[in-house]
Structure 1
Amino acid sequence: MSTHLFGIRHHGPGCARSLKEALHALQPDCILIEGPPEANDLIPFVAGAEMQPPVALLLYVPDAPQNAVYYPFAAFSPEWQALQFAVAGNIPVQFCDLPQAFRLLPAEKSEASEEDEGEEDENEEENAEVASVQELDLQARLVRADPLLVLAQAAGFADTETWWDHLVEQRTDSLDLFAAIAEMMTVVRTEITQASDQLQDQLEVRREAYMRQMLRQAEKAGYQKIAVVCGAYHVPALARMPTAKHDADILKGLDKVKVAATWTPWSYGRLAFASGYGAGVEAPGWYHHLWHQPEQAVLFWLSDVANLLRKHDLDASSAHIIEATRLADTLAALRDRHRPGLDEIMEATRAVFCYDSDAPLRLIRRELLLNDRLGAVPADAPNLPLPQNVALLQKKFRMAVRADSTDLELDLREAAHLEKSNLLYRLSLLGIDWGKRQHLRGKTGTFHEAWRLEWQPDFAIKLIEANIWGSTLETAASAYVIDMARRAQTLPELTKLVERVLLANLGMALHDVMRRLEEVSALTPDLGYMLAALPALANAMRYGNVRNTDTAAMELVVSKLLSRICIALPVGARGLADEPAAQMVKDLIAADQAVRMLQNEDYLNNWFASLVQTARQESSHGLIAGRCARILTEQGQWSEEQAGQQLAVHCSHAQTPLLTAHWIEGFLQGSGALLIHNDMLWQLINSWMASLGAETFIELLPLLRRTFSSFAGPERYQLGERAVASKGAAAVTLHTDTALDQSRARLVIPVLQAILGKTLHDDQPGANA
């Protein structure tokens, strides 16, 4: 009976290749692999033709799916090669790590366990031991976090990643590799980290105790050649076997929870350090080449670089590939390395292909180093009903699940396209943003939608979490939005939810959501909330028409809401401070567009009547009264003479200058067309401004400037032209208590010339102050 320990890095082509050769040479009769025992029944799926790495084992708590963990595998993962070797050779294989049933406990249980373990630390002697641990020097803590860093630095490397890559992953033979790893890790754990042994993670202690128990079970079962594939750091702990009682005591009394497992697609991007994956690698795209083309990895890599740059219209030729290959080889030789590694290749790529520019290099890192390759799992792999239903819909609509971005354009007049849109919106309601709406120029029709699709591996856990709402996507999304509606307390929340329900075409949920909307609407006294809700409802009714949804219930709610708005608007416009008034103007503009979108004559008549009342009452805030007058004028409800009369009233000396300025801002803000083409309005505003005293004018200047700055550039230019050409401009006199200083006044002429785009001559109005 013999046990062979193979210490590996979790994702490395060199380790994977060496392990594969070692297993073929050993021909074990049992293989134990570091991984979750709950997934043992899923091991046979690795041999299926539909199983394409990268993939991951997903383990979760059925009653609390947010408690989950992934075990990713790529083709170059040693564990994956061990699994395939075992399944292909019909060799008994199982995972031997500490079960997730002991690790995926709810947070409160974990905290309670930690408190129980800490209860014995209350005496002074034990507190002193804790203090001594805390006083361990920084170097010891750093060694515990990365025990191989000392060896890497001793070998002349700045970091562990580069050192391990050159030492292990780039090798093409398995000559004494695992014996060397075992010896190295023994030294690391017995000598280098002995200063920080007190920082040993309790979880790691339990994991190694459980692995030793699994090894004892395999020996007891009578297997003669046992191969153990585990992280290199665990090898010394498995080589020295303590008593079975010692390990049993470590594992005694652990709480556990029920755990389920399945396979899910994974991506290279999520195997990288950059994704936050603790056992990740720096460049999975590079390791892909090292695994599939070990002898010509550099050539294949640089060819991919050239193809990528050509795809983005950047210069890249065969000569570039040759020169970059030579430069990488030269750099490796200068650094006394037997072959170029990632550092040498990236330096050569930057010098030859990128002309020392960071922009192409960022593209290469994103597209090639990380490489968004997405794996696939068999359709018959165990899964919950909702994820299965979504997979069937994706297959039915031929919407490929990919990690990279793809664009999708839909015409909702086609039934198949409408179904695809429904799928994307329903997933979005469940928090799965597979598709994101894009806004393209020239394609703004209601029937046209543009999407950008990008599947994220963690969507799998979100689908599992959403399974509690229903077994199909439609029922799950419907149940979820009904629950959201019940919990919503404000009108804007519900109106946005209604819009999303209609976009997702969830007819079965619309009735419940609309009933809740009507309840909240009837109890909402805030005019701002009611105005803000109207545009969303109008949009929802439009989308309902596009998607052939019955919106009769919604129309009833809109009718009641608009009636309440028309009654409340004249009252709500009174006594407001400037900031709430400015916000109400924005809501008023949006609500006006919504009312006109509904194309209902009764709605329009009631709306315009409310605007007239608000515009004419003296107590309305100037911003709101001015905007109401502007809407009435633009929609032909008031003639320009009527608008001029209101302006004259507000520009009279009976009004304070600030109130007048607010009215003008509300009336003119956003467009100066009325001021350009209406002589009466121009004269009224011009005369009012000319009548202002110097101090009052300076006080109001920021307000006026804000109003005129909202005009388009051509409008400002035409107003400037009109100011210069105005015959009455020369007659304007400023009211000031002091004599005008002609020399100082002339200093502003260059500024005026720059603003107006004209050269002022002495015979032009305004040239002589």
Structure 2
Amino acid sequence: MSVHLFGIRHHGPGCARSLLDALHALQPDCILVEGPPEADPLLAHVGEAGLVPPCALLVYAPAAPQRAVFYPFAEYSPEWQAIRFANEHGTPVRFCDLPQSHRLAETQPPEDLDPVGAVPASAPPALRSDPLAWLAEAAGFSDTETWWDHLVEQRSDSLDLFAAIAEMMTVVREHAGAQEDLLELRREAYMRNMIRVAEKQGCQRIAVVCGAWHVPALASMPTAKSDNDLLKGLPKEKLAATWTPWSYGRLSFASGYGAGVVAPGWYQHVWDHREQASLHWLTDVATLLRRHDLDASSAHIIEAARLSETLAALRDRPRAGLDELMEAVRAVFCYDSELPLQLIRRELLVKDRLGEVPPSVPTLPLIQDVQAQQKRLRMAVRADTLDIDLDLRQPAHLEKSVLLHRLAMLGIAWGRRQVVRGKSGSFHELWRLAWEPEFAIRLIEASVWGSTLEQAAGTRAVSRGAAASELSALTGLMEEILLADLRAAVAPVMARIQDVSALTADLGFLLAALPPLVNVVRYGSVRGTDTDALSRVIDGLVARACVAFPFGTRGLSDEAATQLLAQLIAGDQAIRLLQDEEHGAAWFAALEIGARSELTHPLPAGRAVRILAEQGHWPMDEAARHLGLLRSRTVAPLAAAQWLEGFLQGSGTLLVHNDALWHAIDAWVLALPADSFTELLPLLRRTFGSFHVPERRQLAERARAGRDGAAAPAPLHAQALDLERARRVLPVLATIFGGAAAPEAMHDE
């Protein structure tokens, strides 16, 4: 009876190859692998044609799926190769780490796997941050990653490797001091108990595949009683496990996964091509650069290969590693430029790709339903981004859109809407797809809402509607519901909208609620949805907004008026999209009352005049007259500037094409005192800065022409005087000044 300990580094191709050689030589009758025992039933799937790495074991609590832990595997992960060897040779294999049923019940969030194991908190800081740093520094390497890569990962012919790793880790642990981390002590105690179980079962050649750090702790077996005492009384929680696709991007250190590797794409080359990995990788570099119209030839490959080997020789290394290759690529291919290197790092070092999981793997009904729809609609699950253009007039494209919208309802942003250019916006949707491994957890979490995607998304929508208290949030939710074709959720959310709208008197909320509903009504025919009920809600919202406008624009702070201005612009566009004469007439009447009232805040007052003039409800002369009033000394400069901002925000087309408006604004600016102009300059710049570049250019040319001798606007005193209106103020003036105002003092001129 013998126990063979194979200390490995997770995701190490050199370790994996040496481990396979050792297993073939040993022919074990039992293999124990560091990992969660809850996933033992899933080990039989390793080696199936449909289970393609990178993939991960997902262990989670069904009662709270957000409490979960991933165990990722690449093709070159030593654990993956050990499990595959066991399945191919009929050798019993099981996981031997402390069950996550104890760890998840005790710690939140759970710890990810570590590269070589945990280090005692009492260890020196340098050793605690990197347990192999001392050895790497002693060997003349600047970092542990490069040292381990040259020492272990590029080797493939040494069966003595694991004895050397065990000796090395024994020395490191002696310098680190006694283990004080209780979790690590329990993990190692459980692993030793699993070895004892295998021995009791009569296994003669036991192979244990674990992180290199744990090898010394498993080599010296204390009493079973001491280990059992460590494990006594641990809390326990019921867990479930499944396989899920993983990506190379999540194997890298940048992903936040502690047991990652810097360059999973490079390690794939090391695994596939062994000693020829450098040449194959340089060839891929040249291919990538040529695909992006960058200069790369066979001569570049030869020169880079020679340079990398020369650098390795100068550094007394057996062959060129990733550091030498990257330096050679930078000098030969990139001409010391950083931009091509960024492309190479993203496409080749990480080489983002997603694994596959077969339907035979047990999973939840919701996940099965989503996977079936993805397969039926031929929507490949990929880690890299993919742009798709959907024409909603085609049934298959409409189904794809519905699938993406339903997933979004569950918080799974597989697709993100992009701006559609050059095509009809009502019939086209442009999506950018990118699948994240974390979506597997969100699907598990969403399973509480239903066993199918339609049911889960609909139930989730109803729940969101019940929790929403603002009308704009509810109408936005209704738009999402109809885009996702969740017909069962329409009635309850519609009832909620009606209840909330009946209690909403705030003008801003009413205006903000209109655009989503109007979009649904306008484009409802594209998706075949019934919009009659929505139309009745819209009728009520427009009527309430028209009633609220004259009063809702008074007594506002500048901050509230700025927010209302944005809502007013969006609400006006929505009402005009309805193309309903009754709504238009009521809306224009409300705007006219607000525009003429001195109590209306200048921002919405200016926008109301703009809408009335732009839509032909008022003649341009009337808008110019309101602009002319800004030049009156009774109007504060700040109020005039705010009115102008509301009138002009977003577009200067009116100024470009209307002389009366231009001259009125020009005269007001020229009449400003110097101190007032300086004070208002930031506000004016913000207003005119919102115009498009061609509009600003035309306005600048027009201003220059005016300075060069164009006719100036008439001064304020030269405008026609309404004597009848002027006489009305005489009694008021007499009261103020305490004298009699003689009507005959006013003479017609």
TM-fit CA distance, 1:450: 1.1
| CA deviation map 1:613-635 (0-9, x unaligned) | 11112221222222111111111
2: distance between equivalents of 1:81 and 1:9?
A: 13
1:391 maps to a residue whose letter is Q
| CA deviation map 1:308-339 (0-9, x unaligned) | 11111111111110000000100000000010
| CA deviation map 1:661-710 (0-9, x unaligned) | 44333333444443444444445445555555555555555544544444
TM-fit CA distance, 1:567: 0.4
* 1:9–1:642 distance in 2 versus 1, CA, 3 Å: same
| 1:539-550 paired onto structure 2 within 5 Å | 539-550=519-530
2: distance between equivalents of 1:363 and 1:495?
A: 43
Could you tell me which residue of structure 2 aligns to residue 737 of structure 1? Answer: none
Could you tell me which residue of structure 2 aligns to residue 95 of structure 1? Answer: 95
Which of 131, 137, 140 is matched with 1:156 structurally?
A: 140
| 1:62-101 paired onto structure 2 within 5 Å | 62-101=62-101
* 1:216–1:659 distance in 2 versus 1, CA, 3 Å: closer
2: distance between equivalents of 1:731 and 1:516?
A: 57
* 1:552–1:326 distance in 2 versus 1, CA, 3 Å: same
Could you tell me which residue of structure 2 aligns to residue 456 of structure 1? Answer: 436
1:159 maps to a residue whose letter is D
1:719 maps to a residue whose letter is R
Could you tell me which residue of structure 2 aligns to residue 371 of structure 1? Answer: 351
* 1:708–1:263 distance in 2 versus 1, CA, 3 Å: closer
TM-fit CA distance, 1:146: 2.0
Q: Does 1:165 align with 2:149?
A: yes
| 1:120-135 paired onto structure 2 within 5 Å | none
Q: Does 1:416 align with 2:399?
A: no
1: distance between equivalents of 2:14 and 2:108?
A: 42
Could you tell me which residue of structure 1 aligns to residue 116 of structure 2? Answer: none
Q: Is the 8 A contact 2:166 2:212 kept in 1?
A: yes
Q: Is the 8 A contact 1:708 1:716 kept in 2?
A: no
2: distance between equivalents of 1:390 and 1:143?
A: 46
TM-fit CA distance, 1:726: 5.1
Could you tell me which residue of structure 1 aligns to residue 575 of structure 2? Answer: 595
* 1:382–1:599 distance in 2 versus 1, CA, 3 Å: same
* 1:596–1:220 distance in 2 versus 1, CA, 3 Å: same
Could you tell me which residue of structure 2 aligns to residue 610 of structure 1? Answer: 590
Alignment partner of 1:377: what SS? Answer: coil
| CA deviation map 1:213-272 (0-9, x unaligned) | 111111011111111111111111111111111111000000100010111111111111
Q: Is the 8 A contact 1:19 1:174 kept in 2?
A: no
Which of 600, 603, 607 is matched with 1:627 structurally?
A: 607
Q: Is the 8 A contact 2:471 2:500 kept in 1?
A: yes
2:134 maps to a residue whose letter is V
1:143 maps to a residue whose letter is L
Could you tell me which residue of structure 1 aligns to residue 448 of structure 2? Answer: 468
Could you tell me which residue of structure 2 aligns to residue 46 of structure 1? Answer: 46
Could you tell me which residue of structure 1 aligns to residue 175 of structure 2? Answer: 192
* 1:514–1:14 distance in 2 versus 1, CA, 3 Å: same
Could you tell me which residue of structure 1 aligns to residue 721 of structure 2? Answer: none
1:14 maps to a residue whose letter is G
1:508 maps to a residue whose letter is A
TM-fit CA distance, 1:174: 2.5
Alignment partner of 1:32: what SS? Answer: strand
2: distance between equivalents of 1:94 and 1:206?
A: 18
2: distance between equivalents of 1:50 and 1:338?
A: 38
TM-fit CA distance, 1:347: 0.7
Alignment partner of 1:68: what SS? Answer: strand
2: distance between equivalents of 1:612 and 1:705?
A: 28
Instruction: Mark the runs of 5 or more structure 2 residues left unpaired by the alignment.
Output: 111-119, 718-749
| 1:123-522 paired onto structure 2 within 5 Å | 140-189=124-173, 191-194=174-177, 197=178, 200-522=180-502
Alignment partner of 1:76: what SS? Answer: coil
1: distance between equivalents of 2:376 and 2:74?
A: 28
Alignment partner of 2:97: what SS? Answer: coil
Alignment partner of 2:274: what SS? Answer: coil
Q: Is the 8 A contact 1:503 1:543 kept in 2?
A: no
2: distance between equivalents of 1:109 and 1:294?
A: 38
Could you tell me which residue of structure 1 aligns to residue 702 of structure 2? Answer: 719
Could you tell me which residue of structure 1 aligns to residue 739 of structure 2? Answer: none
Could you tell me which residue of structure 2 aligns to residue 114 of structure 1? Answer: none
Which of 624, 627, 639 is matched with 1:644 structurally?
A: 624
Q: Is the 8 A contact 1:410 1:448 kept in 2?
A: yes
- TM-score, reference length from structure 1: 0.88
Could you tell me which residue of structure 1 aligns to residue 746 of structure 2? Answer: none
Could you tell me which residue of structure 2 aligns to residue 123 of structure 1? Answer: none
1: distance between equivalents of 2:679 and 2:218?
A: 82
2:163 maps to a residue whose letter is A
Q: Is the 8 A contact 1:511 1:553 kept in 2?
A: no
* 1:164–1:563 distance in 2 versus 1, CA, 3 Å: same
* 1:330–1:508 distance in 2 versus 1, CA, 3 Å: same
Could you tell me which residue of structure 2 aligns to residue 740 of structure 1? Answer: none
| CA deviation map 1:150-186 (0-9, x unaligned) | 1111111111111111111101213311111111111
* Identical positions, percent: 62
2: distance between equivalents of 1:92 and 1:546?
A: 58
TM-fit CA distance, 1:648: 4.3
* 1:106–1:230 distance in 2 versus 1, CA, 3 Å: closer
TM-fit CA distance, 1:585: 2.0
Instruction: Mark the runs of 5 or more structure 1 residues left unpaired by the alignment.
Output: 111-132, 735-769
| CA deviation map 1:603-654 (0-9, x unaligned) | 1111111111111122212222221111111111111233334344554455
Alignment partner of 2:560: what SS? Answer: helix
* 1:249–1:650 distance in 2 versus 1, CA, 3 Å: same
1: distance between equivalents of 2:662 and 2:77?
A: 77
2: distance between equivalents of 1:273 and 1:208?
A: 26
Could you tell me which residue of structure 2 aligns to residue 748 of structure 1? Answer: none
2: distance between equivalents of 1:186 and 1:106?
A: 29
Q: Is the 8 A contact 1:676 1:718 kept in 2?
A: no
* 1:176–1:697 distance in 2 versus 1, CA, 3 Å: closer
Could you tell me which residue of structure 2 aligns to residue 10 of structure 1? Answer: 10
| 1:53-64 paired onto structure 2 within 5 Å | 53-64=53-64
| CA deviation map 1:132-159 (0-9, x unaligned) | x99x6xx713313322111111111111
Alignment partner of 1:105: what SS? Answer: helix
2: distance between equivalents of 1:648 and 1:109?
A: 66
Runs of 4+ in structure 1 over 6 Å off: 730-734
- TM-score, reference length from structure 2: 0.90
1:253 maps to a residue whose letter is G
1:539 maps to a residue whose letter is N
2: distance between equivalents of 1:106 and 1:540?
A: 49
1: distance between equivalents of 2:53 and 2:641?
A: 68
Could you tell me which residue of structure 2 aligns to residue 757 of structure 1? Answer: none
